Each structure stands twice: as C-alpha cells, then as structure tokens.
Amino acid sequence: MDRKDFLPVSKADLLERGIEQLDFVFISGDAYVDHPSFGTAIISRVLEAHGFTVGIIAQPNWRDPESISVLGEPRLGFLVSAGNMDSMVNHYSVSKKRRKKDFYSPGGEMGKRPDYAAVVYANLIRRTYKKTPIILGGIEASLRRLAHYDYWSDKLKRSVLIDSGADLLIYGMGERSIVEIAEALQSGISVRDITFVRGTVYKSTIDPVGEDVIRLPAFDKISTSRELYAKSFYRQYQNTDPFTAKTLVEPYPADNLFVVQNPPQMPLSTEEMDDVYALPYARTYHPDYEPLGGIPAIEEVKFSLASCRGCFGACSFCALTFHQGRIIQTRSHESLLEEAKQMTQDPDFKGYIHDVGGPTANFRQPACKKQLQHGVCQNRQCLFPEPCPNMEVDHRDYVALLRKLRALPKVKKVFVRSGIRFDYLITDKDETFFRELVKYHVSGQLKVAPEHVSDGVLRMMGKPQNSVYRRFVKRYRELNEEMHLDQYLVPYLMSSHPGSTLQDAVRLAEYLRDLGYMPEQVQDFYPTPSTISTCMYYTGLDPRTMKPVYVARDPHEKAMQRALIQYRDPKNYELVTEALIKAGRRDLVGTDKKCLLRPRHGDLRFVQKTQTPPAKPGKAKRPGTPNSRKWASGKPQQSRPGAWSAKDKRGK
C-alpha cells in the first residue's frame, strides 16, 4: 500500500499533503492499522469524512515529551486511546505475569506502550500543551470512566478522567460523539462548556441537579465500603440503555469535583453503520511496519466481516453492556457483500472468509421490538435465567446473509468463528440456521462457551443452566451424524469465577473426564474493569441481589481450580492432588476408571487408598486408557491439533 492511502503520521506526510496544522492529533497505544476493526481508524476516518484533518502518533515514547509533538499542536485537540485493549490486560496475564507478546505492536514486540496508557499519554501531553483540549476514548477509558476496581493495584481507583487530566471522555463506540465534539470546538465553544454530548463524561465544580440526574455515592464513601460500591456499580449497570438512562454524578470531595456521565449515545441505524464501514480504509497496517514484521493482530480480522454490534446476552464477566450496550446494531447485506468483494481482490485471499459476526455472531436483530422504542429492561435479562417470552428468536436474516456470501465468486468457504450463543440457537424452533451452520460454516471445530457445568456458578455468570448446553450438544451431535460429518465442539471453560468453589471445580473436572476431553487453554477468571463479575470479586457480593458470593482470591486456590480443568497434564499432578484432598474427594485418586488421577509411585498420601487385589489372569489392560473416551460429538477422539490423543503422556 502507498503512504497516501493512510492518514499522516509524520511532518513529511503533512508537507506532501499541504497541511499546515492538523485539526486533531490521535495518540494511540496500538500501532497504526487502518482497518475498521481498530477504533483509532474508525474515529479518524469518521472525522475525515466530516471535513476534519487527523494525524496519527502511534505508540509514542512515553518517556520523551517530544514524542507527542512530532505532528505539532493540533488546532482543535488531542484524541487519546490506550488501544483496542485495556493496556493492563494487554500487558499482564491473570496471574499478573508480564506477557511475552503484544499482537498490536510491530512484530509482536512487548513494551511499546506504558501501563495505564490513557493516563500516561494524557499527562504527557499536558506537560507540553497546557490548554489544548484532550479527549479520551477507547475501551480503557470507556470502562474506567467512573470509579472502578483495579485488579492490578488491588484497589478502587478514581475516574480515569481525573487521573489523566483530560477534558472530556467518550465512552462506547463514539462515532456520533466525536463528530458533535469536533463541530462544537470548530464553532468556538470551549471544551469546558461541552457538557451536552451524549456518550461523554466531563468534570465539573458544580453539582448538577434535576429530575433526570442520579447522584452516586461519593468516592471517599465507596472507597471505605464495599457494600456501597456494589450498590453504586449496579446503579451504573442499570443506566447503560440510551432510552432510559439518566445522568450520573459521582462526587470527589477531596478534589472539589464532580464527574458527570451523560446518557449513552443512541444506537446507530443500519445506514449509519454502513457509512462507517464504507469509509476509505487501507485495510492493513502502515507500510512503516513492514520491515519490523508487520502487526500480528491484522491476521485475525483481515478476512473477517463485522456484521453487528452490541449483545443482549449480558454475561456477568463481559464488559459489552458497559461499552457497546445491549441493543443490537447491524450492517446491511449490501454493505457486507461489498466489503467481501473487496476482500476477494486481495492477493492474499485464499477463498476463505474467516468470520461473519460480532460480539455474538447469531444476533442480527434486537431481542424484541420494544427495545427500539423503549430500550432494554432494567431489571431483567433477555436470555437469563430463562429466555424472555417477549424475545423474538429469528435467524432468517443471518441465514440469508450467509447464503449470499457463500455464492460470491472466489469464495470457497464462509466460517462463523465469533461466539455462537447456543441458548439462543437451541431456542429457535426453525432449525434452518443450525443445519446450515453445521453443514457449511464449521471449520472442523465449533467453539462455544458453556463456561462451566455447575448451575450455581453459571447463575453467577449470567449463563443458562448446564442442561441447555447438554441439549445443544446432543442436537449438534445428531446433525453431524445425519450429515456424515466429523466435526467437534470445543468448549470454552472458565475457572475460579466468583461463586466457584473447589467442589465446583472438581465437578467440572469430572464432566471433562466423562467427555474425554482436556482443553489446551483455560481462562482463569480475569477481573477486568466494569463487569458484574469484577464487582463480585472485589466486594464479595452479587450487586444484583446484594447476597454474599464465594470468591477464590488466593492465587494458590485459583491455580488449583485451573489445574483441575487440565487434570491430565502431568505438571498439574501436585495441584490436582492437593485440590482433591481439600475438596474431600480422595475417591477420585486411584486406578478406577472414574478416578481423575493415578497416584504416583511412593506417594504416601494414597497408600491405603490404592491397595487393590491381585490382577486376574489374562490380558492386562491399563485402566483409563483413551480408547474409551469420547469427544462432545460422541465419536472416538482423533489425534489432531488441539485435541488430547492417545499419544499424550499422563502422570504416573
């Protein structure tokens, strides 16, 4: 790609384009990828489409104040984003160990952005430009817009707007908000007076009052009372719908400030979504990164289509309710087909569209008609604990879209790799989508997210009962057998979520034993900002009911729960043994086929438990051999990537 296909990133680019001063300079924690899967690209291209000039400073050296001056002072303001991920999630695993690779940096190199990047970048700008407006955005700012629990420092933190010294914060996706702000600044309105834009948060020395204003507890109060914080958080959670939300005010007495959150922006129409995705993106990373090995994150999205936004699934551990909201917004078939045709012209395209989806692939419409006029329900979910009787389950539009994409010239296969909401799918009385999903859109393995098997844990997660998943598995197996296909289910599972005890973790291990499956990857619950689950982790209370919740906070117990899911891995022997003893399940250590572990030779903890009568004459068979284990599909397990096979070693 030519440099001219990208937004300016250097003074030389400005000179070549005849730009003396940019309207906005965008500081990003990610490398510059001009693709609609990257927030920096979307916001910048939207501003450009409205006549504003934007330059990109990607991953500036936060130790050098000069690094944010390479494009000069912008006429209207600086835009700041930590990137497509919260910088702390980007940097650290749940065990708080430094990650080795950053997929949003050149060559995957780690260390190109600071911890708490939004705060660091904004403070860096303010050291040089005392009065230039600074506007925060992106996922990190969005989920830290009010007081929040910070897992990495293990304390409650103030709104990022205060710590950063920025003037305004945009939460959510931000296309409408940024244009309104830009036009207000263009008209001469001071950034301090831009207090009227939906989807924004601002600071004030005046306490707003009115019928549409909700006053949250002051920061000094929630800092000393976890119960009060849980109540405050749930009040915020109930005010994420653009139709019903009110203005939220969070006082900071020590700073003599009020942080004020305006109601969210209204959902984008299909036409507006189409316009956003039709902008002239280069659809790849900037050519400056080519000698450095490119940007790994592009590989996941280069040949994928984003068909929708929002999610009414509302899992407790997911921040989508706070960021994109629960109302589904979709692109038209024409828009998606046009983008797919562009993909087929790419010299690297091999005939495979890797995904057609969004937060949840099979959500292509609001849960019910009333949502587009009255918003979502404040005190009930669409799918949990049971599907709402008003919910309209309909896959016809998605089926029609996938059929059109499959029919495109040069397209060999269209995969669906975004999350499939299996409880929504199995509720649909019309099996057309389920059948076509199995027949055309699975790449050998379908990934789904039951997360756990214990109904008590699932209730804390906001997920359906395990019986719903079992019903889905049964039908998936039947359809594969009917179509003579050899396709598997790969379940995503989570350990040590609030509500999960060691006994619950053992039940999950027993389920995997019966399934004959050991996942290669396990997600240990990660307390990221602004989720119900994180609130439970910090407070020990379910904010929805204010009832106590068991929380595994001790890193060693978390390690045991995680190890139980991968109990066959020899390196987990000691952790699994300890967990079984603590859970009172010594019966699961032995040579019986129902046991999870065979005790190692000389392990005195199980001497009495493992004495067995002499073997009968005849051919010996090693207990627990893999030939009796089955996958979720009900077929014998094969030795294949990502699957446990007979060749894998077991603990002795």
Binding site membership for [4Fe-4S] cluster: which residues?
A: 311, 315, 318
Q: Are 265 and 309 in contact (CB under 8 A)?
A: no
Q: What residue has token string 């104040």?
A: 65
Q: By C-alpha distance, which of 6, 9, 3, 141 is closest to 83?
A: 141
| Cis before 385 (ω within 30) | yes
Q: By C-alpha distance, which of 471, 472, 403, 470 is closest to 434?
A: 472
Q: How far is CA 90 from CA 55, 118, 209, 305, in A?
A: 24, 13, 39, 24
Q: How far is CA 371 from CA 170, 242, 379, 390, 525, in A?
A: 23, 10, 14, 11, 31
Kind plus residue range of the DSSP H or E element containing 258:
strand 257-261
Q: How far is CA 409 from CA 271, 302, 412, in A?
A: 26, 18, 8
Q: What residue has token string 């289509």?
A: 305
Backbone dihedral region of 130: left (phi > 0), alpha (psi from -120 to 50 degrees) or beta? alpha
Kind plus residue range of the DSSP H or E element containing 251:
strand 247-252
The whole-angstrom separation of Cα 179 and Cα 48 is: 10
In the 8-state DSSP scheme, what is residue 456? Answer: H
The whole-angstrom separation of Cα 179 and Cα 199 is: 12
**Residues 36-55 as b or e (16 or more Cβ within 10 Å = b):** bbbbbbbbbbbbbeeebbbb
Q: How far is CA 583 from CA 178, 459, 504, 559, 613, in A?
A: 53, 21, 9, 14, 27
Q: What residue has token string 């629990």?
A: 149
- Would you call 49 helix, strand, or coil by DSSP? helix
Annotated binding site: 311, 315, 318
Interstrand relation of 445-451 and 413-414 (parallel, antiparallel or unpaired): unpaired
